[in-house]
Amino acid sequence: MAVTRLFGAKIRRKEDLRLLTGRGKYTADIYLPGTVHAFFVRSTYAHARIRSVDVSDALGVEGVIAAFTGQDIKDALGAVPTAWQIPGAELKVPKYMPLAVDRVRYVGDPYAVVVASSPYVAADAAERIKAEFEPLPSVTNPEKAVQPEAPQLYEDAPNNTAFVWRASGGDVDGVFSRADVVVEQRMVNSRLQPTAIETRGVLAVYDRYAEKATVYMTSQNPHVHRLLLSLITGIPEHRLRVVSYDVGGGFGSKIHCYGPEAVVLYLAMKLGVPVKWIETREENFKSTIHGRDHVQYVEAAATRDGKVLGLRVKSYANMGAYLSTAAPGIPTILFGPMLSGPYTIQAISVEVVGALTNTAPVDAYRGAGRPEATYILERVMDLVARELGMDPAEARARNFIPKDMFPYRTPIVLTYDSGDYERAFRRALELAEYWRWREEQKRAREAGRLIGIGLSSYIEICGLGPSAVARATGFGLGLWESTIVRVHPTGKVTVFTGGHPHGQGEETTFAQIVADKLGIPIEDVDVVHGDTDLVPFGLGTYGSRTTPVAGGAIAIACDRIIEKGRRIAAHLLEVREEDVVFEAGRYYVKELPERQKRIQEIALAAYAAGASELPPGTEPGLEATAFYDPSNFTFPFGTHVCIVEVDAETGQVNILKYVAVDDCGNQINPMIVEGQIHGGVVQGLAQALHEEAVYDERGNLLTATLTDYLVPSAVEAPDIVTDSTVTPSPHNPLGVKGIGEAGTIASTPAVANAVLDALAHLRVRHIDIPLRPEKILRALRKV
C-alpha cells in the first residue's frame, strides 16, 4: 500500500499479530507458580438478612486452604468507593462492602469466599458452606422501588432513593403553553448485560518482604483501579502495581471497582501465595454491572410546522443494590445535558430519580447515559412527526442546529464544538435511498407487507473531558490524560500512555500519530499501556475519550520533542533556532534545505550529550511528558437509517438495509473507525431487537446464561453501509472527536423507529424495546 501520510491511513493493526497467533496476554493467561484459586459464594436471595454462615465443612475438603465470610473480613477491608458523587441531588451513598456482612441485596451478591488448590476444588467446597438467611421482601423495578410502600434496602436511603437530580434551561413552561401540540410517552429503556466475551478476573500476588502487591486484572483503567484498591485495602499506592495487558472487551464493565477484586488482593496478602479468580459467565451476568434500565416519562412541545420547542423528562433510573464506581453520574450528568441532541430545542427540564433496587449494580455501559437520552429524543421526533402527519425526515430537517451557529450553547450547559448535522443527514438519506423506500413502503402496505424506515440523528459527548467540568459535577478525579513519548538514542520511539485500549486499536493509531508527527516509520514506534509501574498516572479508556484525550497528549508531547530537537539541530547546524525548519523527520536550514539533520541524528546527539552536540544549558535525552486536559468535550454526530420488514405472521424483524453516516472529526485510521461503527451498531440494534436483562418478581435473573440473554451472532448481524463526513474539532490538538460509542447510541432508536414505522399505519404507536416477535404480535393482535 502506498501510504502518503500515516495520519489518515487505513493500515492494519500492530496489536493483531500477537492476538492472531494465540500470544495475547489476557488476565486468565497469566500463570504464576504456587497459585491458589478463589471461588465466591453468592446469594440466591434477592434480599435477605444473613443469620449465619458456617464455612467449617468447606474447610474440611481436601485441597481447601481458607474460607472467609463477609463478617470475617469486614474490619480488614474498607467499603468500595463511589467515585462520582453528584452534587445538589441529596446523594445517599450506601455502604458497599466487598463481601456482604449482614444482608445480601441481590441475587449474586457475594458473602463468602473459598480458596483452594484448584478452581474445581474451590467450587466443590463452596457447596459445603452452610448459610442461613431470613428472606426479606424485594423490589427490582426502579419506579416501584421509590414508592413509600416498597421494601426498603437501607435505613439511610429512605424510599430507596439514592438521589433526585434536576436540571433545566430555557422557559419550559412558556414553550409548553405556546405549543400547538404536546406529545407524551412513557418509555422503558431496557436493562442490558454488557457481555464482554472475556469475563472479569484477578490474579494478585503479594511480596511480604518488599510489602508490595501486584494485581493482574481485567481493567479499562489500571491507575483508577490502583487508587481504589489502595483505598479499600490500605496498601499504599506506590506499593501497588496494577497490570492489565490484553483485555477481551470491556464496554464499560471493566471500568468499575468490584468487591471481589479487593478480596482477592486481600487473600494474596493474607495467605502469602498468588491468588487467582476468573469470573464464570454466570457470575458475570449476575454481578458484573448492568446498563441502562430507565423508566421514562416524556413530554414534548412542538409547533404546527414541526419545530420542537421543549421537553420535559422524568426518569426513574435503576441503580441496582449498590452505587457502583461511576454510577450516579451516568443517568444524570451524561444523560440530562444530552437531551437536546442535534436540534435547536430551546427549553428542557429533566428530573432523574436514582432508585436502589434488589438487582445487580448498574453503571456505565457503552454509551452510558447518552443512548438513553438519544433514544428519547429520536422517538420523540417520530412521535411529533406522526402527530403532525409529517415525514420523520422532514421533522428532523426542520430542527437541526444550522452549521453556522457553532460553537452552539444548549439549554443545559453544553457548548457544542463544531458540526454540520444536516450534511451527514442528507448523505445518509441519499445512501439509504430514503425517498425511494418511502414509495416502496406505500406499495408494500397495499400488498399487506410491513416495511418500515427508521431514522436516528445523534450527537454524542465524547472526549471526557475537561477536568474542571468533571470535578464540578462531582467526579472524583479530573479527566485529563497523560503520556511519555520517549525517543531512544537510535531514533526509535516508545509511547507510554495512560489510556488503556482493549480492542479500539490505539497501539496502532497512537503509533500513526507519532510516526506522522516525527516523520519516522511506523515500525519504529511501539505503544505501552496497562502497567502502572511503567506508564504515568492515566485515567484509562472509556467514554470515547482515548483518541481525543490520550491522543491529544501524545500530539503535544511530540511537539515538545520537535521543539527540543530544533534547539539541538540549530546547535549542530550552527544557525539560529528560528532558521531551522522541521519537516518529515528532518531539520533543515530555511534557506539551505540541503543542510539538514535527521531526527535520528538529533536523538543520538541528545543522548551523547557532548559539548559539540548539546547547546549549553540543554538537558540530555529526548523525551517529553504531557498531561492534556481538554478545554471542552468533543461532539461527534451523524445519522443512521434502518429499513426493516416485519413479518406480520411471526412478528420477526428482518433488517433490509442499514446506513450509518458518522462524523468523528479527523480520522487517524478509517479502517478502525469503521470497525467501531460496525460493532457499535450491532450492539445497539441488539437492544432494539434481542437483548434484555430480566429479573422475575422474586429477583432471580432469568437471563443468566447466553441461552437466555440473546447476544447477536453473525446471523443476526446485518450488512452495514458506512460513510462519513469530516468536521474537525476546533479545540482538539488533532481535530479528532472519538467514535467508540456512536454506533451504539445511534442504532437502537434507528432500528426501533424502523420497526414502529412499519406498524404505524396499523395504529401501533409505541412498543418498548426489545421489539421481540412476541411483543410485535401482541401489538398487532390488539389493533
Partner 1 sequence: MPRRMTRRARPRATAEAPQETVPVRVKINGVEYSHNVEPRLLLVNYIRDVVGLTGTHVGCDTTHCGACTVLVKGLRGDSWVAVKSCTLLTTQVDGKEVLTIEGLAKNGELHPLQKAFWENHGLQCGFCTPGMIMSALGLLLRNPNPSREEIKWGITGNLCRCTGYINIVKSIEAAAKEMREKGITI
Distances, alpha carbon 473 to alpha carbons 408, 630, 698, in Å: 21, 16, 36
Counting Cβ atoms within 10 Å, is residue 751 exposed (0-12), middle (13-18) or buried (19+)? buried
Of 166, 239, 281, 698, which lies in the binding site for partner 1, with binding defined by CB under 8 A?
Answer: 281
Say how many residues touch partner 1, by CB under 8 A.
66
Counting contacts by CB under 8 A, is residue 716 touching partner 1? yes
Q: Where are the beta strands (DSSP E) in 279-411?
A: 291-302, 308-320, 347-356, 408-409
What does 612 interact with, of partner 1, ligand FES, none (CB < 5 to 8 A by kind)?
none
Give, as ranges, the residues between 339 and 358 that touch partner 1 (CB under 8 A): none
Least separation in angstroms between CB 284 and ligand FES: 12
Q: Which of residues 280-299 bind ligand FES (CB under 6 A)?
A: none
24 scored as a contact of ligand FES (CB under 6 A):
no
Cβ-contact 53, 129 below 8 angstroms: yes
Q: Terminus-to-terminus CA distance in the chain, angstroms?
A: 58
Minimum CB separation from partner 1 for residue 87, in Å? 35
- Kindly identify the residues of this chain, within the stretch 408-447, that bind ligand FES according to CB under 6 A: none
Spatial neighbors of 778 by CB under 8 A, at least 6 apart, are none
* Partner touching 384 among ligand FES, partner 1, none, CB below 5 to 8 Å by kind: none
Which of 2, 4, 62, 616 is the binder for partner 1 (CB under 8 A)?
62
Indicate which of partner 1, ligand FES, none lies near residue 711 (CB less than 5 to 8 Å, by partner kind). partner 1
- C-alpha 521/C-alpha 682 separation (Å) is 35
Q: Which is nearer to partner 1, 218 or 634 (CB)?
A: 218
Nearer to partner 1, 123 or 534 (CB): 123
Phi, psi (5° rounding) for residue 300? -130, 135
Consecutive H or E run containing 756:
helix 742-759
Nearer to partner 1, 505 or 548 (CB): 505
Closer CB to ligand FES, residue 249 or residue 712? 249
Instruction: Examine residue 711 and tell whether it contacts partner 1 (CB under 8 A).
Output: yes
Least gap, CB of 248 to ligand FES (angstroms): 6
Residue 217's alpha-carbon distances to 221, 516, 628, 653, in angstroms, are 10, 33, 26, 40
At residue 533, what is the residue type? D
Task: Considering only CA atoms, give the Rg of the chain.
Answer: 27
444 binds, among partner 1, ligand FES, none (CB under 5 to 8 A by kind): none
Q: Taking the mean position of all CA atoms in its chain, how far away is CA 612?
A: 51
Q: Please report whether residue 29 would count as binding partner 1 according to CB under 8 A.
A: yes
Tell the smallest beta-carbon distance from residue 502 to ligand FES (Å). Answer: 9
Which of 7, 8, 24, 581 is the binder for partner 1 (CB under 8 A)? 24
* Contacted entry of partner 1, ligand FES, none for residue 705, CB cut-off 5 to 8 Å set by kind: partner 1
**626, amino acid identity:** A
For residue 491, what is its C-alpha cell?
A: 531514533
Cell 458523587 locates to 85
Q: Is 612 in the site for partner 1 (CB under 8 A)?
A: no
Going across the sheet that includes 36-42, the strands are 64-69, 110-116, 36-42, 275-278, 201-207, 212-217, 240-243
Residue number closest to ligand FES, CB atom: 197
What type of residue sits at position 597?
A: K
Q: Binding string, 159-198, against ligand FES, x = CB under 6 A?
A: --------------------------------------x-
Part in contact with partner 1 (CB under 8 A); list of ranges 64-72, 122-130, 430-438, 547-555: 122-130
Among 208, 446, 649, 713, binds partner 1 (CB under 8 A): 713
Minimum CB separation of residue 678 from partner 1 in Å reads 4
Q: How far is the CB of 640 from partner 1 (least distance, A)?
A: 13
Partner touching 715 among ligand FES, partner 1, none, CB below 5 to 8 Å by kind? partner 1
Alpha-carbon distance 371 to 377, whole Å?
10
Verify binding: residue 503, ligand FES, rule CB under 6 A. yes
Residue 504 binds to partner 1 (criterion: CB under 8 A): yes
Binding mask 451-490 for ligand FES (x = CB under 6 A): ----------------------------------------
Provide the Cα torsion 636, 641, 647, 652; round to 10°: -20
Check if the beta carbon of residue 300 is closer than 8 Å to that of residue 182. Answer: yes
Does position 675 interact with ligand FES (CB under 6 A)? The reply is: no
Smallest distance, partner 1 to C-beta of residue 651, A: 13
Instruction: Give the Cα-Cα-Cα angle 69, 277, 366 (nearest 5 degrees).
Output: 105
CA atoms within 13 A on the CB side of 644: 30
Using CB under 6 A, which of 81, 249, 519, 621 touches ligand FES? Answer: 249
Q: What share of the chain is helix, strand, coil (3-state, %, to 5)?
A: 30, 25, 40
Candidate list 4, 707, 763, 783; residue touching partner 1; CB under 8 A: 707
Of 2, 75, 197, 763, the residue at the interface with partner 1 (CB under 8 A) is: 197
Angle CA 133–136–142, to nearest 5: 130
Cα(80)–Cα(38) distance, rounded to whole angstroms?
19
Distance CA 187, CA 612 (A): 72
Helix axes 370-388, 742-759, angle to 10 degrees: 30
d(CA 32, CA 533): 19
User: In terms of CB distance, is 217 or 388 closer to partner 1?
Assistant: 217
Strand blocks (E) in 303-380: 308-320, 347-356
Q: Is 693 in the site for partner 1 (CB under 8 A)?
A: no
Q: What is the binding site for partner 1 (CB under 8 A)?
A: 12-13, 15-17, 19-26, 28-29, 31, 62-63, 120-121, 123-124, 127, 195-199, 246-249, 251, 278, 280-282, 502-505, 671-672, 674-675, 678-683, 690, 705-707, 710-717, 719-720, 743
Q: Which residues bind ligand FES (CB under 6 A)?
A: 197, 249, 503
